[in-house]
Amino acid sequence: MPLILNDEQAQLADMARAFLAERSPIALLRKLRDERDPDGFSRDLWAGFAEMGLTGILVSEDHGGLGLGAVEAGVVMEAIGTTLANVPFLSTSILGARALALGSAEQQAAWLPRIAAGEVITALAVDEGAKHRPAAIALTATRSGNGFRLDGTKAMVLDGHVADLLIVAATTGLFLVDPKTRGVTVERTLMVDGKNAARITFDAVEIDADAVLGELDAGPGALEAVLDLGRAAVAAELTGVGAEAFGRTVAYLKERRQFGKLIGEFQALQHRAAILHTELEVAKAVTLKALQAIDAGAPDAALIASAAKAKAGQAAQLAVQEGVQMHGGVGMTDAFDIGFFMKRARVAEELFGDGAFHADRVARASGY
Amino acid sequence: MTDLDTFRAETRAWLDANCPPEMRQPMLTDDDPCWGGRNWRFQSEGQRLWLERMGAKGWTAPTWPSAYGGGGLDHEQAEILREEMERIGARSPLNSFGVWMLGPALLRYGTEEQKQAYLPPIVRGEIRWCQGYSEPGAGSDLASLGTKAEDKGDHWLVNGQKVWTSYADKADWIFCLVRTDTDAPKHLGISFVLFDMTTPGVSTRPIPLISGKSPFCETFFDDVVVPKSHLVGELNRGWDVAKHLLTHERDMIGGRVVNASEPLGVIAARTLDLDADPLLRARLAQFDLDAIAFRALVERAGDTTAAGTAHPASSSVLKYYGAEFNKRKFELIMATGGFEALEWEGERSHDGRTARDWLRTKANSIEGGTDEVQLNIIAKRLLNLPGA
């Protein structure tokens, strides 16, 4: 398959970008932040996603979705990265939809149509400490009565404060939990980027036996497949963040004058901009490769997803840091938007494993 | 079965039947690749047969039109051929500046007679070409070149000197940039000509390099007579041809470092305890991760070119990234090899192959336009930065 978007995917990209540019300018993120909006996102904007069918992009057509794949989801994530739109698309339409597709026919019928309709928000609760360490999950699910008892704490649960359903990773498998269950405590955590996350404590939470999602004690494979999709999706978002920060910076180099010249005439800045361009091209290529590999069920999809997450993170980090530096003093002001991209790139770098995590993962997968 | 599946099956069967066993061994030394040409001495009968068979099918230049001896394959078929050759570890049948550089320029700018005359012998590996571009006073500033071609009515008279001419001492013909108008602005007085290296007045002198080898030469032209019909493209518009050819040279230098070789960390782990050297392990891991990403860049560049949506300057992205990538790769190979990689002579080290290859890579970011020239091109033509 050629490593370029096909016509339908390119049209979807244009549509998503145009929609988000109009409905979710960075001013909206700024307003949600400044007003300390209790939801932290615009339900009106989310309804717009549902109208276009994007909420159900990965949900099968049987369940009322579009039945598209990782490449299409990635295309929307890239547009989200470009505009920094604050929507529960990653938590619900990507991670939620893919995780629930592992479930029983009843579980799928109960949740997937409602995800597609934009009626529910789901949150995947995996991480516990300061870093992404899915191999070190400590939350326990012990058999109790006819069901299970959950004990443990989760952190960095995306959209956890507004979720209607929690998908919780325990040592033995995945569980569906209603956040209103007794013993569940949700603390919204305001993060540096103005986006949404929560810390969630599970203190002797009793759940029914039918809350198990997928198989118990079947190893980390199912969760890892969901996480790999998340990694590639965040990589796609990071390529959008990096490209937009870079585009704004290049535009500034063409308008800002010092020493009687446009600063873009200075070779010191030209070469740094050119290097950044090559890094962003590499990130774009490997990210699309990862999304295609996931759709194809390729055996090396996990490896490429790791490479994509790491490279897109590095390229975006470079783009935002050069972005602030090349903007000079105005780059440091809150009134100017470039700082929002730096904050988002920092958060996205940590999600589902940073560059070091993924380099280590590549080494282990290669056998050293 | 789709047409492509059929093509793959047929290709696989043909390669199985026609690729000699010794041409399925990895190349270990600089003497292993076949460069062809009038004076080529085949390393083995297998090498001769392999070139002959692949040349006859046009698969030394898979995407060239079959009318000029090429394979006539489309991009997807060529990719399948590449994959099937890789699958059995088949060597490239021919290393050739004719295939990599001159051919694409002739296909675009050559006359029908020139294409008929020059392309088929390139495909069959019968004529070995070299590239006369750089001069002592014209490196990165290539357009300031001074080698002169005077109009003598029925022929050109060429005088001057080239430098860094790869394998000039072994080549049969040269494609050469010469100044045909000394009054015009420097880019508008250059022409692109072809001539036989055995023409009286042509001489070469190899330049010993830091690797102890001499792949590059100084090339001297003293009253060399070149027929008028050997001009490619329009008179004084040779810079257009040169630039087109350079994009292919850059793709070649940028893209050739990608292969499906084992991860460096796996190779290193055979001889070193990487757990005892966590910083080296981290560098290897980051490199092997970057290799996955770089392969995707090369694949995407090829697909974008095939789709006709590539920016002409995008080859500079590949050239810059590939050169830096390859230099970094060999720094890591040296770090992994330790003392053993430092040996310069003797059988154990294949006459210092690792050290010599490492030193050779330092030219990657100089040849075909330096890193700095590539960054200038990206800034000017892809980013449209002012005054670049």
Answer yes or no: B86 catalytic: no
Please name every residue paired with A150 in a beta bridge, in sequence order, or none if there are none: A141, A205
pTM score of the predicted model:
0.91
Picking from A313, A354, A3, A34, the residue whose alpha carbon sits closest to that of residue A190 is A34
**Average confidence (pLDDT) over A319-331:** 96
Give me the amino acid identity at B207. Answer: I
Average per-residue pLDDT for chain B: 93
Query: Do the chains contact at B303 and A356, CB–CB below 8 Å?
Result: no
Residue where the block lists tokens 């099968």: A60
Average pLDDT on A254-267 reads 96
Percent of chain A with pLDDT over 90: 99
Q: Give the pair of three-digit tokens for residue B243.
A: 């630039």
Name the amino acid, one letter, at A35.
E
pLDDT in tens, A57-113: 999 999 999 999 999 999 999 999 999 999 999 999 999 999 999 999 999 999 999
Q: What is the mean pLDDT of residues A312-316?
A: 98
- Local confidence band at B76 (pLDDT 50, 70, 90 cut-offs): confident
On whether any CB of chain B is under 8 Å from the CB of A318, the answer is no
pLDDT digits (tens, 9 = 90+) for B136-168: 999 989 999 999 999 999 999 999 999 999 999
Per-residue pLDDT band for B246 (boundaries 50, 70, 90) equals confident
Quote the CA–CA distance of B344 and B265 in Å, as a whole number: 24
pLDDT greater than 60 at residue B57 = yes
Mean of pLDDT values over A7-17: 97
Contacts 24+ apart (CB under 8 A), A263-270: A263/A326, A264/B385, A264/B386, A264/B387, A264/B388, A265/B385, A265/B386, A265/B387, A265/B388, A267/B376, A267/B379, A267/B388, A269/A326, A270/B375, A270/B376, A270/B379, A270/B383, A270/B385, A270/B388
Q: Concatenate the DSSP letters of all residues of B207-231 into one string.
A: ---TTS---EEEEEEEEEEEEGGGE
| Residue B259: predicted pLDDT | 55
Whether residue A161 is predicted with pLDDT greater than 70 in this model: the reply is yes
Query: Does residue B388 have a pLDDT over 90?
Result: no
B378 to chain A: closest CA residue? A274
Render pLDDT for A283-310 as a digit per residue (tens, 0 to 9): 999 999 999 999 999 999 999 999 999 9
Q: Assign B213 a pLDDT band (cuts: 50, 70, 90).
A: confident
No. of helices (H) and no. of strands (E), chain B: 12, 8
User: Tokens in use for B282?
Assistant: 């981290």
Pairing of strands A122-125, A165-170: parallel
CB B60 within 8 A of CB B54: yes
pLDDT bin (cut points 50, 70, 90) of residue A119 is very high
Q: Look at residue B250 in the predicted model and tell me its pLDDT.
A: 74
Query: Which one of A273, A288, A307 has the shortest CB-CB distance to B289?
Result: A307
pLDDT value at residue A272: 98
For residues A139 and A184, is the Cβ–Cβ distance under 8 A? no
Comparing CA positions, the residue from B53, B44, B58 lying closest to residue B121 is B58
The answer to whether residue A248 neighbours chain B at the CB level (below 8 Å) is no
Nearest to B353 by CA among B213, B259, B165, B206: B213
Between helix B264-271 and helix B315-337 the angle, nearest 10°, is 10
Question: Which of the residues B84, B86, B249, B331 is marked catalytic?
Answer: B249
pLDDT tens for B253-280 read 665 555 557 899 999 999 999 999 999 9
Is this complex's ipTM strictly greater than 0.90?
Answer: yes
Where helices occur in A89-185 by DSSP H, the ranges are: 97-100, 105-116
> Residue range A37-54: average pLDDT?
96
Q: Is pLDDT above 80 for A326?
A: yes
DSSP-derived 3-state class of residue A189: strand
Cβ-Cβ pairs closer than 8 A, A with B, add up to: 133
Residue among B294, B317, B388 whose CB faces A270 most closely: B388
Burial class (CB in 10 A: 0-12, 13-18, 19+), B131: buried
Q: Rounded to 5 degrees, what are φ and ψ at B176?
A: -140, 135
